[in-house]
């Protein structure tokens, strides 16, 4: 193990070696840029399934969508497109199919940066060439992918010769036939688990069966069939949204935008359903039904039965969703006497039902959902209502109101909320996205909320707070952009102000990203604390070799946990890392992506965190350095 001084020298020499090399190809860090933009800031209350988002976007890169056959739900999974942009793409394709993705520039709702984000995930072919499943060629012409990954951690402890954390291991097989037939199976051993304690999961998803829409438009079509791990999301998530929710993010006008329907769940974590689900499509109506059995803990089984009926009547879209959850024993919580969970659901059976609607009328997009949830001998109600106004294609305004009564507690619903649980909350959100200013884009949102009861970390009632965000992005040309953003929030009488500056530049295989963060927090005792961090990313793709290098050098001075900063980090394929930077010190990592053969790729990641001696002594840290290594081997057939 190298000492931290020699390690830093090695990092710098490696960076110099990279800079000395010439490049001819354009680096594509699209997935990382999209995720970093969607979640500019994170707070301790936000629970985001980044692994599932990473899996979805990576799947679309390895098996892009045919823009001529993609549905609204397919495009919504990309997260950065607004409803109006999705409608504009579908309308253009309906009027005349695209012969090339370069035609995206003819859609006025799409700006150059939207097209840049979209290009890695889509392609264009005539619809009739890729809209039917030919069963005889499914296995032969499908993409087969085998991934083997292992992670290890080394902690330098002066009181011991060495200290290793247990190794993480994962083996995954993926199958994809034109995004119509997809399957995956994952076997893994979690960190710290015994060698024989293996976890497994997988899915099989089939779409548009058995024939194309054009051939059998007069009969019901089995639009989606999914087995194994899957997700079901409808409406605004009050009744059914089991895994992923966006909440507040840097795309201010994208609130209340989420893909609907049944779909595979590729992540190995999260609250996915495990069972079977199907969607039947007929003319202007969709009928979805699903059944799931899961094991939330060692002594409890959960059965879920759900149904959704969605009808499209002109500009109206109306959906009815119901879900029944049955537990093998009464659901309880670890801290039964805590004040914040007194209105949480307890029992062995819960019914949840709701009605959602969406209507497009001129410049307005109206949406709403109302739901009721059984909670012991009482009932709770939840309501979300809002409007998206688009007076011109370059300006979008979103206004959203939500109310969740204290007894409304759906154990498997994720709706727009300040906390990770849609319970006991009342608030108004306003978001504005302005793209009509030449070379500039502005994203602004404000949110005011109130809790009538005691919440986790807030020992008094009632309580209220606010959350405001503003970002200005300057894009003089496609290869360079700069943004500055600020966020101010108050919750539980704690005030936080954050400031972020970021710029990206790319040219002939180079991709450089610089980011600096600063924040200050005033706590309940009126103490004012500060934190700062900055990092430099250098990404390079070789022209004459199938090799990509990604280097980050980072420094931070954050003395209190309340001032921590979350930063998104590149990782191996289908992987992610979002550490909370805290303390005094530095951090660096190097990613290597090497395509050894056309069918074989190697991904390596080495990261190291070094704390200053003063900080280690003040915090009585046993170890000043921590090193992590990730290795992934991908076989593509």
**Residue burial 380-407, b: 16+ Cβ < 10 Å; e: rest:** bebbbbbbbbbeebebbbbebbbbbbbb
Average pLDDT score over residue span 298-312: 91
Q: Which residue has the higher pLDDT, 214 or 526?
A: 526
pLDDT, tens digit (0-9, with 9 covering 90-100), for 49-64: 666 777 777 788 878 8
Residues 257, 55, 243: CA angle, nearest 5 degrees: 50
Q: Which residue has the higher pLDDT, 184 or 266?
A: 184
Q: Long-range contacts made by residues 462-465, C-beta under 8 angstroms, separation at least 24?
A: 463/491, 463/492, 465/418, 465/489, 465/490, 465/491, 465/492
Q: Is the pLDDT of residue 637 over 70?
A: yes
Question: Please, what's the largest Cα pairwise distance for the chain?
Answer: 74
- pLDDT grade, residue 481 (50/70/90)? confident
Percent of the chain exceeding pLDDT 90 equals 38
Phi, psi of 404 (to 5 degrees): -125, 120
Q: Are strands 65-66 and 122-123 parallel, antiparallel or unpaired?
A: parallel
Q: How many residues does the chain have?
A: 637
Q: Quote the mean pLDDT of the chain.
A: 83
pLDDT for res 418? 87
Q: How far apart are CA 377 and CA 324, in angstroms?
A: 16
Phi, psi of 22 (to 5 degrees): -90, 155
Phi, psi of 307 (to 5 degrees): -140, 140
- pLDDT grade, residue 549 (50/70/90)? very high
pLDDT for res 182? 92
pLDDT for res 218? 55
Q: Is the pLDDT of residue 609 over 90?
A: yes
Average pLDDT score over residue span 149-157: 83
Q: Which residue has the tokens 């949840």?
A: 352
Q: How far apart are CA 270 and CA 266, in angstroms?
A: 10
């Amino acid at each position: 193990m190298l000492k931290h001084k020699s390690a830093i020298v090695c990092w710098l020499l490696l960076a110099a070696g990279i800079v000395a090399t010439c490049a001819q190809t354009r680096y594509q860090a699209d997935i990382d840029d999209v995720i970093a933009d969607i979640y500019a800031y994170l707070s301790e209350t936000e629970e985001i399934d980044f692994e599932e988002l990473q899996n979805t976007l990576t799947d679309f890169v390895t098996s892009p969508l045919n823009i001529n056959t993609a549905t609204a739900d397919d495009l919504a999974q990309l997260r950065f497109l607004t409803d109006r942009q999705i409608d504009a793409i579908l309308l253009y394709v309906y009027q005349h199919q695209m012969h090339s993705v370069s035609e995206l520039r003819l859609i006025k709702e799409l700006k150059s940066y939207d097209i840049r984000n979209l290009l890695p995930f889509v392609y264009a072919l005539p619809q009739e060439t890729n809209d039917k499943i030919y069963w005889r060629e499914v296995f032969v012409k499908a993409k087969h992918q085998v991934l083997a990954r292992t992670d290890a951690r080394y902690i330098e402890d002066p009181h011991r010769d060495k200290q290793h954390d247990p190794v993480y291991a994962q083996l995954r097989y993926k199958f994809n036939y034109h995004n119509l037939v997809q399957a995956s199976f994952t076997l893994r051993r979690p960190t710290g688990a015994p060698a024989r304690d293996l976890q497994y999961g997988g899915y099989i998803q089939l779409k548009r069966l058995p024939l194309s829409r054009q051939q059998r438009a007069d009969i019901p079509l089995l639009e989606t069939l999914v087995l194994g791990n899957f997700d079901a999301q409808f409406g605004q998530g009050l009744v059914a949204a089991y895994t992923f929710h966006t909440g507040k993010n840097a795309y201010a006008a994208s609130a209340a935008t989420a893909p609907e329907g049944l779909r595979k769940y590729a992540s190995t974590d999260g609250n996915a359903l495990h069972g079977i689900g199907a969607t039947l499509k007929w003319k202007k109506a969709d009928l979805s039904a699903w059944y799931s059995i899961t094991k939330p803990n060692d002594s409890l089984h959960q059965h879920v039965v759900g149904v959704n009926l969605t009808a499209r009547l002109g500009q109206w879209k109306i959906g009815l969703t119901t879900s029944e959850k049955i537990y093998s024993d009464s659901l309880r919580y670890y801290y039964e006497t805590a004040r914040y969970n007194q209105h949480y659901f307890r029992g062995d059976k819960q019914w949840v039902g709701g009605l959602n609607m969406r209507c497009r009328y001129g410049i307005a997009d109206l949406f709403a959902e109302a739901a009721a949830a059984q909670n012991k001998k009482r009932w709770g109600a939840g309501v979300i209502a809002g409007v998206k106004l688009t007076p011109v294609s370059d300006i979008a305004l979103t206004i959203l109101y939500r109310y969740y009564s204290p007894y409304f507690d759906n154990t498997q619903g994720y709706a727009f909320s300040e906390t990770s649980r849609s319970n006991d909350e009342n608030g108004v959100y306003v978001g504005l996205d302005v793209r009509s200013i030449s070379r500039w884009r502005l994203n602004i949102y404000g949110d005011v909320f109130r809790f009538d009861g005691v919440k986790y970390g807030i020992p008094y009632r009632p309580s209220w707070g606010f959350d405001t965000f503003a970002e200005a992005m300057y894009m003089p040309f496609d290869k360079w952009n700069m943004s500055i953003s600020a966020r101010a929030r108050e919750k539980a009488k704690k005030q936080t102000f954050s400031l972020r500056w970021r710029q990206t530049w790319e040219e002939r295989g180079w991709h450089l990203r610089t980011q600096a963060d600063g924040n200050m927090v005033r706590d309940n005792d009126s103490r004012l604390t500060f934190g700062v961090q900055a990092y430099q990313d250098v990404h390079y793709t070789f022209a004459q070799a199938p090799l990509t290098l990604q280097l980050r050098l980072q420094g931070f001075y954050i003395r209190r946990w309340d001032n921590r900063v979350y930063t998104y980090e590149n990782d191996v394929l289908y992987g992610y890392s979002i550490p909370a930077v805290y303390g005094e010190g530095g951090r660096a990592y190097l990613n290597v992506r090497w395509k050894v053969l056309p069918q074989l790729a190697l991904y390596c990641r080495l990261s190291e965190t070094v704390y200053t001696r003063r900080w280690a002594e003040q915090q009585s840290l046993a170890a000043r350095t921590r090193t992590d290594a990730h290795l992934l081997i991908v076989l593509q057939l």
